[in-house]
Every structure is written in structure tokens, then in C-alpha cells.
Structure 1
Amino acid sequence: MPLHTVLNKAIIETAKVVRGVEPDQFGAPTPCRDWDVRALTNHLLQVVHALQLAGRRLPVPGDLWDRALIDDGWAAHFDDAGSTAIAAWVEGDAWEGGVTLGDMRMPAPAVAAMLVSDLAIHGWDLARATGQTYRCDDDLAEVTYRFLADMGDQGRRMGIYAAPLPPVGDARTFEQALALSGRDPGWAVPVTDGAHPRTAAGRTRSTT
């Protein structure tokens, strides 16, 4: 399947999860140990903006990852940036040449695969943290797994990923990708007396 189609799927599925976040969940923990729901939602906004810029062949500034993009209209903000990204990457020349990320120059398809995988992994994180389901189909799961298998070691050296976890014997492709990123596919929000009811109820295993 063309990577552009997979990119569309990642943006659309992640947008559903972003729209499902409620403000009173912002302080909830996530599978990303250093990020609560608010910080994770902000990161997904950063990622979709990076996709938008890269698809238009504009440099992705290094300080993008330090910007606070979340506001009262965060879901509409994500939808708008996602629509622009999809439209940008549908152009054939978006996949040619390189894209500048911070101080690095990378081939455009590699940038797309990296950011698509980021949407999938962190989209799953956000879904798990807020009692939702991230529906990662086989094609998106395969792209994400391949990126983690190829680039996981480098990501760990850069402090992006934790040490990989051994997947269970019958793990699906996306669960294997999660394990490669150092995540437990069975992660669930710790239940406390003050837990958001929908968050506490969302304790199912991920599906591919």
C-alpha cells in the first residue's frame, strides 16, 4: 500500500482519539512516563504540524518540539493541520528529495515514515490513557513496526525510546512495534478513587 495512504490512515485515526480527549483527563498518566495527557496531546499537535511542514517541503524547526500548541480548540487545530498535511503529501513531488528537520536533512519518505510511526505509537498512548481504542490496521502496523525495527537502536541512543520489551508469543504486528518502543501493550491507567470513569474503564488490550 502506498505510504501516502498509510499516512492518511494514521492522521485520521489519531484525530479521532484527539477529539475524544476531555479536559478533565489532562492530568492523567500515559504510557509515556514523562508526559501526562495534556503533554501527550501537545506532542501529537507538534507531530501533525511537522508532517504539514515536511509535506510542503518546508523546514521543520528544531524548536517545534518545545512549543506549546495546545489550546481550547486543540481537536479542531489537529484536524486542520492533518487535512493540510494529507493534501500536501498527495503531491507526487512531496516524496522526492529531502526534508530538513532541525539540523538534519533526511529523505522525504523516511521523514514521512518516522512521523507516521510517531502518530501511531503516541496515538495509541493517548487512547490507552483516555479509555479509547486506537484502531491500527495492518498496513499502518507494518510501517510502524518496520520503522521501529530499523531505527529503534538509534532512537534508544538518542533517548527517544526505552529498552525494548519481549513481545508475547502471539503478539500482533502493532503490539510487536509497541514492545520495540519499550511499551507494554497491556498498559492500563492505574485505577484510583479520583480516576476519570471513562479512563478507568478503558482497560483492554490494544488491537491491530
Structure 2
Amino acid sequence: MQLNALLNKSITEAAAVVRGVKPDQLSAPTPCTDWDVRALTNHLLQVASALHLAGRRQTVPDELWGRDFMDEGWADRFDDEGRAAAAAWAQPSAWEGMVSMGGAEMPAPMIATMFASDLAIHGWDLARATGQDYHCDDDVAEATCRFITDMAEQGRQMGIYATPVAVPDAAPALDRALALSGRDPQWAHPTA
């Protein structure tokens, strides 16, 4: 499957989960132990904004990651940024060359794959934390697993990923990706 299709599916899947978050769930815990539902939802909004900027070949500034997007219309904001990101990445030129992010230059396909994987992993996190189903496309799950397999050690050194969790070799691709990132694929909300 082409990267553009993977990216669009990741955006769509995450948008469905963001739309399902209820205001009374914002303080609930998530599989991301450092973030509650509010912080995780805000991070997904940051990712959608970064993805939009990167697709338009604008620098993704470090300040973006400290920005609070959690106003009253957060789900609409995610939908808007997601649509804008999908439109930007629909242009063939978006996939060429380098994108500036965090003071570094990275190949555009790598940025898109990184953000698609981030949307998949954190979409699952948010769905689990809020009692929603998460429908990850098989191709998105496979691409996410490949990306995390390639980046796991670097991610752990940067504090992005935790110690891997053991899962069977035959586990589904999303479960393997979650486990490589340090998440237990069987995680359930503590009050469930």
C-alpha cells in the first residue's frame, strides 16, 4: 500500500477515536503512563498539526510540542488538521526531499511514516483509555510495526519508548508494535 494511503487511514482511525472522547474522561489514565486522556488527546492534535505543516513543507517548530490545543472544539480541530494534512500529503511533491523538524532535516517519507505510526499507537492508547474500539487497518499496523522495529532502540534512548513487553511471535502486527514500544497490548482501564 502506498504511504499516502497509510497516512490517510491513520488520520481517519485516530480522528474517530478523538471524536469519541468525552469531556468527563479527560483525567482518566492511559497506557502512556506519563499522560492522562487530556494530554494524550492534545498530543494527537499536535501530531495532526505537525503532519499538516510537514506536508506543506513548513518547518515543524519545537514550540508546537508545548502548545495546548485542548479548547472546546478539539475533535473538530483534529478533523480540520487531519483533512488539511491529508490534502497536503496528496501532492506528489510532498513526498520528495527533506522536512525540517526540531532543528533536523528528515526525508519526507520518514516523517510521514513516523507520524502515521504515532497516530496508530496513540490512537490505540486513547481508544483503550476511553473504552472505545480501535480499528487499525492491517497495512497501517504492519507499517507501524516495521517503523517501531527499526526505531525502537533509538526511541528507548530518547525516552520515547519503554522496555519492550513480551508477546508471542505470532501476535498481530499492532500488538507487536505496541509491545516493542513498551505497551502491554492487553492494557485495560483500571476501572474496567
Which letter does structure 1 place at the counterpart of 2:101?
A: L
Which letter does structure 2 place at the counterpart of 1:91?
A: Q
Q: Secondary structure at the match of 2:163?
A: coil
Q: Name the % identity.
A: 64
Structure 1 counterpart of 2:65: 65
d(CA) in 1 for partners of 2:167 and 2:3? 26
- Map residues 75-114 of structure 1 onto 2, 5 A cutoff: 75-114=75-114
TM-score scaled to structure 1, two decimals? 0.91
Q: Secondary structure at the match of 1:143?
A: helix
Structure 2 counterpart of 1:149: 149
Offset at residue 169 of structure 1 (A): 4.6
d(CA) in 2 for partners of 1:169 and 1:89? 34
Q: Secondary structure at the match of 1:38?
A: helix
Structure 2: gaps spanning 5 or more residues:
none
Q: Secondary structure at the match of 1:100?
A: strand
4+ residue runs of structure 1 moved beyond 3 angstroms? none
Which deviations, in whole Å up to 9, do the C-alpha atoms of 1:113-141 show, x marking residues without a partner?
Answer: 00110000000000000000111111100
Which deviations, in whole Å up to 9, do the C-alpha atoms of 1:73-99 show, x marking residues without a partner?
Answer: 000000000000000000000000000
Task: Say whether residues 1:34 and 2:48 are aligned partners.
Answer: no
Which letter does structure 1 place at the counterpart of 2:7?
A: L
d(CA) in 2 for partners of 1:47 and 1:2? 20
Structure 2 counterpart of 1:197: none
TM-score scaled to structure 2, two decimals? 0.98
d(CA) in 1 for partners of 2:137 and 2:10? 9
Offset at residue 165 of structure 1 (A): 1.1
d(CA) in 2 for partners of 1:174 and 1:47? 19
Q: Secondary structure at the match of 1:105?
A: strand
Indicate the RMSD between aligned Cα atoms, in angstroms: 0.7
Q: Secondary structure at the match of 1:131?
A: coil
d(CA) in 2 for partners of 1:169 and 1:154? 22
Which letter does structure 2 place at the counterpart of 1:108?
A: A
Which deviations, in whole Å up to 9, do the C-alpha atoms of 1:137-178 show, x marking residues without a partner?
Answer: 111001100100001110100000001111135410110000
Which letter does structure 1 place at the counterpart of 2:38?
A: R
Structure 1 counterpart of 2:124: 124
Which deviations, in whole Å up to 9, do the C-alpha atoms of 1:27-75 show, x marking residues without a partner?
Answer: 0000000100000000000000010000000000011111111110000
Q: Secondary structure at the match of 2:100?
A: strand
Q: Secondary structure at the match of 1:58?
A: coil
Structure 2 counterpart of 1:25: 25
Which letter does structure 2 place at the counterpart of 1:105?
A: E
